[in-house]
Structures are given as structure tokens and as C-alpha cells.
């Protein structure tokens, strides 16, 4: 390997780091956990159910895996959860706020229950988990990385997903606020805004031939994204060398927003 190649590899080396990834059981969360493990980080995967596939994928890449089964909608004491992770596995250096749900209904029919469930997971948990992690990092002097998963609907209104749209607008706002307050502590806060990705959340859209065709016609790349398309953005924002990148939102959308 050339000296230049070696230096470039080192820019993205996460050996010795621990990453806490929420929503790590499937889809984007699993892909991001795999990415961080490939770069050398050990993984704490948080999900609403057990995630043997994620464990297998992480451990196959030579990294350790620690599982937290927790319903983020219920909230709770994130500081106590973090203390338990630190005692059992080690203190996280990277937080990926990926967990999210979506509920679809026409505006006039949308229920308060669906509003509250989406906001609790997609926005409230992002803030209070980040708050707990940031407090710990500041106390320990850890120059950590927070990466939030936003959406194209952080910038657009969409249809039939009012709470999802509101929550993802909120994720971008929180990303920028947290970046402003934590930069002086050496902590960066950024977001990735995925486009239309093949996940459980988009299954209904992909199964609808009319909506699927409409979406594909709008995407310059001409295809749905896959979770692996987010890997390079994740690695960039988590990298030790990205200390001067904060408050950014990186779209990974096949050109959708440029259309």
C-alpha cells in the first residue's frame, strides 16, 4: 500500500471506538452498524426487538456487538441506560440516531395517537438520548460524533405523513441547534437525509404501482436507493478527520432534491 493510501485509510479508521446505533435491527440501521464495524468500531445496537442478524453481521466483521432491546416510544431514563452500556461494554464515542417509524393517513383523518407515536420515536428520543450522551461526553472529555437520520421530508411537505414530516423537519433543526451548542466541546452533530430507500418504511409505496412509478420518474438516478448507499456518508461524518464538519445535512437521494 502506498503512503498516500495508508494516510487516507487512517482518516476513516474507527478502531477502538464504540458506536451506539438506534434502530439497528433492519434496513438503514443495520447497514450503518455494518459500516462502522467495517471501519473498526464496536457496536451497541438498540432496537425494539432482538437483532440476531445485526449481531451476526457485526461480529463477522471482527467487531464486538452489544444489544439493547428498548422501545423508544416509551422514553425513560436514557442516562441510566447509557451508564449500563458504559459499565457492561464501554462508553460510546459515536451516536447514530436512526430509529424511526412512519404512519400514513390523510390530513383530515390523522389521529393523535399516530402523531404522538411518531414524534416520540423520531424526534423526542433523538433529543433526549443525544442530551444524555452529550452530558457524558462533556464530563469525560470525549470529542464525540452524533449523526442523525433526517429525510427528504426534512425539506419538503410530502403527502399523508404529517407527523413524519414534522418530525424530520425537527431533526434538521435539532441537528443545527446541537451543533451550535456542542462545537466548542469538540462534539460534531450532523445529519444524513436519505432519499427513497428500500426499507420497511417505504414498502407500501413500492407496492403501489402508481406511486412507485411517480417516484422513480422524479429520481434522476432512476432507481430506489438501498441502505448500502448511505455507507459512505456515515463513514465521512463519523470519521476522526471530520472534526470541522458540523451542522451539515448530507442528502443521499439519487438527485431527488436537485430535480
40-61 residue pLDDT tens: 999 999 999 999 999 999 999 9
C-alpha cell at 248: 451539515
Measured distance CA(86)–CA(205) in Å, rounded: 40
Q: What is the pLDDT of residue 204?
A: 84
40 sits in which H/E element: none
Residue 11 pLDDT class (50, 70, 90 cuts): confident
Cα→Cα distances 223→49, 177, 218, Å: 30, 33, 10
Using the structure block, give the residue that is written with the C-alpha cell 433492519: 26
Residue range 117-175, pLDDT digits in tens: 999 999 999 999 999 999 999 999 999 999 999 999 999 999 999 999 999 999 999 99
Residue range 97-108, pLDDT digits in tens: 999 999 999 999
Measured distance CA(27)–CA(200) in Å, rounded: 7
Residue 187 pLDDT class (50, 70, 90 cuts): very high
Q: How far is CA 235 from the centre of its chain?
A: 12
pLDDT at residue 6 greater than cutoff 70: no
Measured distance CA(256)–CA(221) in Å, rounded: 8
Q: What is the pLDDT of residue 5?
A: 46
Cα→Cα distances 242→11, 22, 74, 117, 190, Å: 9, 22, 34, 34, 10
Measured distance CA(51)–CA(58) in Å, rounded: 11
pLDDT at residue 1 greater than cutoff 60: no
Q: What is the pLDDT of residue 2?
A: 41
C-alpha cell at 24: 439497528
Are the C-beta atoms of 21 and 43 separated by less than 8 Å? yes
Q: What is the pLDDT of residue 36?
A: 98
Q: What is the pLDDT of residue 4?
A: 43
Residue 177 pLDDT class (50, 70, 90 cuts): very high
Q: What angle do CA 51, 39, 236 make, to 5 degrees?
A: 105
Residue range 207-231, pLDDT digits in tens: 889 988 999 999 999 999 999 999 9
Task: Spell out the residues 6+ positions from residue 207 whose beta carbon is closer than 8 angstroms to its own.
Answer: none
Measured distance CA(194)–CA(81) in Å, rounded: 28
**Number of residues written out for the chain:** 259
List domains and CATH numbers for the chain: 3-197+226-247 (3.40.50.720)
Tell me which residues are annotated as active site.
Answer: 164
Residue 3 pLDDT class (50, 70, 90 cuts): very low
Measured distance CA(194)–CA(77) in Å, rounded: 29
Residue range 62-87, pLDDT digits in tens: 999 999 999 999 999 999 999 999 99
Using the structure block, give the residue that is written with the C-alpha cell 457492561: 88
Amino acid at each position: 500500500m502506498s503512503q498516500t493510501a495508508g494516510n487516507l485509510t487512517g482518516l476513516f479508521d474507527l478502531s477502538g471506538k464504540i458506536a451506539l446505533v438506534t434502530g439497528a435491527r433492519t434496513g438503514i440501521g443495520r447497514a450503518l452498524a455494518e459500516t462502522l464495524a467495517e471501519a473498526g468500531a464496536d457496536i451497541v445496537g438498540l432496537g425494539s426487538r432482538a437483532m440476531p442478524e445485526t449481531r451476526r453481521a457485526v461480529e463477522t466483521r471482527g467487531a464486538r456487538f452489544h444489544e439493547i432491546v428498548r422501545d423508544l416510544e416509551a422514553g425513560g431514563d436514557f442516562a441510566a441506560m447509557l451508564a449500563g452500556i458504559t459499565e457492561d461494554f464501554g462508553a460510546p464515542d459515536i451516536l447514530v440516531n436512526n430509529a424511526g417509524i412512519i404512519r400514513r393517513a390523510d390530513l383530515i383523518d390523522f389521529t393523535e395517537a399516530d402523531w404522538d407515536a411518531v414524534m416520540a420515536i423520531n424526534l423526542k428520543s433523538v433529543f433526549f438520548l443525544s442530551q444524555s450522551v452529550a452530558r457524558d461526553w462533556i464530563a469525560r472529555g470525549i470529542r464525540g460524533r452524533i449523526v442523525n437520520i433526517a429525510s427528504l421530508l426534512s425539506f419538503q411537505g410530502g403527502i399523508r405523513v404529517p407527523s413524519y414530516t414534522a418530525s424530520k423537519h425537527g431533526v434538521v433543526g435539532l441537528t443545527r441547534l446541537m451543533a451550535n451548542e456542542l462545537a466548542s466541546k469538540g462534539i460534531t452533530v450532523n445529519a444524513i437525509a436519505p432519499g427513497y430507500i428500500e426499507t420497511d418504511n417505504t414498502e407500501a409505496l413500492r407496492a403501489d404501482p402508481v406511486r412507485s412509478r411517480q417516484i422513480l420518474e422524479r429520481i434522476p438516478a432512476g432507481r430506489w436507493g438501498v441502505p448500502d448507499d448511505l455507507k459512505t456518508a456515515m463513514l465521512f461524518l463519523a470519521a476522526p478527520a471530520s472534526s470541522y464538519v458540523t451542522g451539515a445535512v448530507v442528502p443521499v437521494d439519487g438527485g431527488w432534491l436537485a430535480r
